[in-house]
Amino acid sequence: MLKEKSGAVLVVGGGIAGMQAALDLANGGFFVYLAERSGAIGGSMTHWDKVFPSNECSL
């Protein structure tokens, strides 16, 4: 017998790839748990200020 599926997705890693995945999942109708090892999301992106001076993560 099939067990009940969950409408939630776990994303491990809050860098640019993980954040984009989380946003698209949430906007596509899924609940997202975004687990990040450090104290804040943003990942390596937060160190490249010349690429993205505004440093948005659009969350």
Partner 1 sequence: MNIEILTLTEVERVEGEVGDFVVTLRESPRYVDMDKCIACGECARVCPAESALESHGGIAPRKAAYLKYPQAVPLKYQIDPQICLYLREGRCGACEKVCPAGAIRFDDTSRIISLEVGSIILAPGFHPFDPSGIRTWGYGLFPHVIRSVDLEPMLSASGPSGGRLLRPGDGKKVRKIAFLQCVGSRDYNKASHGYCSSVCCMSALKEAMIAREQDPDLEVSIFFLDMRTFGKGFERTYERAREKGIRFYRCRVYSLEPSERNDGITFRYITDQGKQAEESFDLVVLSVGMEAHAGCRSLAERTGVELNGNGFAVTSSFAPTATSRPGIYACGTFSGPKDIPQSVVEGSAAAAAATMALMDVRYSRTRQKDFPLEEDTGIQEPRVGVFICHCGSNIAGVVDVADVADYAAGLPSVVHVERNLFTCSQDSQDAMRRTIREKSLNRVVVAACTPRTHEPLFRETLKASGLNENLFEMANIRNQGAWVHAACPEAATAKARDLVRMATAKAGLLEALPPVSVGVIPQALVIGGGVAGMVSALGLADQGFSVHLVEKSSQLGGNARHLSRTWKNESIPGFVEQCSRRIRDHEHITVHLKSTVIHAEGAVGHFRSTIRKHAGSTTVDHGVAVIATGGEAYKSDVYGYEHSQKVLTALEFDKLHLVGDERVRYGQSFVFIQCVGSREPARPYCSKVCCTHSIQSAIVLKEEDPSRSVYILYRDIRAYGQREELYKRARDLGVVFINYELHEKPNVLIQDDEVSVVVWDHVLHEPLRIPADVVILATAIVSNPDIADLARLYKIPVDADGFVQEAHAKLRPVDFATDGLFLAGLAHYPKPIEESVVQAQAAVARAVTVLSNGRILLDSVKARVNPATCDGCALCLDVCPYHAITLENVPGEEDRKIIAVHTARCKGCGACQATCPKDGVEVGGFTYRQLSAQVDAALNAIA
User: Which spans of this chain sit near partner 1 (rule: CB under 8 A)?
Assistant: 2-52, 55-59
Residue 33: count other Cβ atoms within 10 Å of its Cβ: 10
CB 30, min distance to partner 1, A: 6
CB 1, min distance to partner 1, A: 12
As given in the structure block, the two tokens for residue 15 are 């860098």
Residue 14: count other Cβ atoms within 10 Å of its Cβ: 20
As given in the structure block, the two tokens for residue 25 are 């999942």
CB 29, min distance to partner 1, A: 4
